Amino acid sequence: MYRPIRALVFAGLVALAAAGSTRNGDRATQQWDGAEAVAADSQLSVMTYNVKGLPWPIASDRSEALSAIADRLASLRQSGRQPHIILLQEAFTPEAMQIAARAGYRHIANGPDAAQRSDATANGADQWHMAQARWDRGEAVGKQLGSGLQILSDYPITRVDRLAFPDFACAGFDCLANKGVLIAHLNVPGFDRPVSIVNTHLNARKAAGVSVDRSYRAFARQVDLMTRFVAKNVPADQPLILGGDMNIGQDAYRANAFFTRFAEAGMAFVHPDRDGAKQALTHSAWHDEAMRRDLAFTRARAKDWLFARGSGQRSLKVVAGQVPFGSEPDGKPLSDHFGYVVNYSRSHEVDLVQTDRTGASS
């Protein structure tokens, strides 16, 4: 009974998503005039936020919420409290793409657009995966949207690297978007070499509309491709901050695939106990109990993550956390994710060699 309805909804979704999709522009980065530069201090603040900038009919009108997000970031800038760096996911629509300009960020890196393709080679299992594609679940019909990834920065971007996940590394409705990985290399005061920022949005689980096993396989392939891409483009001794909507959740298979692969790739700082949200909850003083609860909720949900490495195998020390986009006192949250900030010390690092396997600092 529901199949014809789903087919009709899907057909409309594809057509309207294509009409609402935006290219990320011809330039790798953009600069906006009139933004006030942030003075170097002892901390580096980083926010990750899935803003749900989806076109209709995938989501109902999001313009008001996206405008409120931009206004709040602009207000934070006016008081000198804006995050130095922001990782956005699902910035698909023009309104979502305008957050950076309205919030005063001069340096913006955009992820893969709908046209970018991967040169990764498919193995036998990959070919089998593609052979099982279902058009009524968004597979094998082409990319209707770009990656939705952006990195906003108050510091100059010197280079941008992008990876679009191939067709054999996506599952279900997620295949409509050209998901991938975005790396922006920044000149940040207080660091003697570039700081590389990695933003990603990995394949959904049940929301992909296919079996959990199929979405898991796509997720695991994406993690493998991402770790190789990051290792190739970021030297092992260079500061690195990695975050985004990882879509791990409470799935033990996904967690194992994600953290094991990063450990194998020599990035030990990507560990559940080194997550910025957990470190902020454990080691920071909280004067706002509602904000602490919001961050605890996000941490328990286990979708949005931040990890930071300083020089070599040294993890950047977390000194504070905030949730500027959490539960709203007068209504619904501005997105289906909370946007949280982690403040890292620019001068203090934790030697991972001297920590135990759980990542607790000595």
Give the pLDDT confidence of 148-189 residue by residue, as tens digits: 999 999 999 999 999 999 999 999 999 999 999 999 999 999
Over residues 288-341, the pLDDT tens digits come to 999 999 999 999 999 999 999 998 778 899 999 999 999 998 889 999 999 999
Above 90 in pLDDT, residue 3?
A: no
Q: Average pLDDT of the chain? A: 87
Query: How far apart, in whole angstroms, are the C-alpha atoms of residue 168 and residue 187?
Result: 35
Q: Which residue has the higher pLDDT, 348 or 65?
A: 65
Query: How far apart, in whole angstroms, are the C-alpha atoms of residue 204 and residue 293?
Result: 25
Could you tell me the CA-to-CA distances from 214 to 169, 218, 258, 301 in Å, in that order? Answer: 10, 6, 16, 22
Q: Band of the pLDDT at 225, cuts 50, 70, 90?
A: very high
Above 60 in pLDDT, residue 244?
A: yes
Q: Band of the pLDDT at 1, cuts 50, 70, 90?
A: very low
- The pLDDT score that the predictor gives to residue 129 is 94
Q: Band of the pLDDT at 44, cuts 50, 70, 90?
A: very high
Mean per-residue pLDDT for 213-229?
A: 97
Tokens of 300: 């328990």
Percent of the chain at pLDDT > 90 equals 76
Q: Which residue has the higher pLDDT, 359 or 281?
A: 281
β-sheet bridge partners, residue 120: none
- The pLDDT score that the predictor gives to residue 356 is 40
What's at 300, amino acid-wise?
A
Q: How far is CA 35 from the centre of its chain?
A: 24
- The pLDDT score that the predictor gives to residue 353 is 44
- The pLDDT score that the predictor gives to residue 350 is 64
- The pLDDT score that the predictor gives to residue 174 is 95
- The pLDDT score that the predictor gives to residue 152 is 98
- The pLDDT score that the predictor gives to residue 283 is 85
Angle 342-200-301 (CA atoms, 0-180°, nearest 5)?
60
Q: Band of the pLDDT at 10, cuts 50, 70, 90?
A: very low
Query: How far apart, in whole angstroms, are the C-alpha atoms of residue 106 and residue 157?
Result: 10
- The pLDDT score that the predictor gives to residue 284 is 79
Tokens of 293: 């609860």
Question: By the 8 A CB rule, do 335 and 328 touch?
Answer: no
β-sheet bridge partners, residue 244: 200, 305
- The pLDDT score that the predictor gives to residue 351 is 54
CATH superfamily of 2-25+41-354: Endonuclease/exonuclease/phosphatase (3.60.10.10)
The DSSP H or E segment spanning 157 is strand 157-164
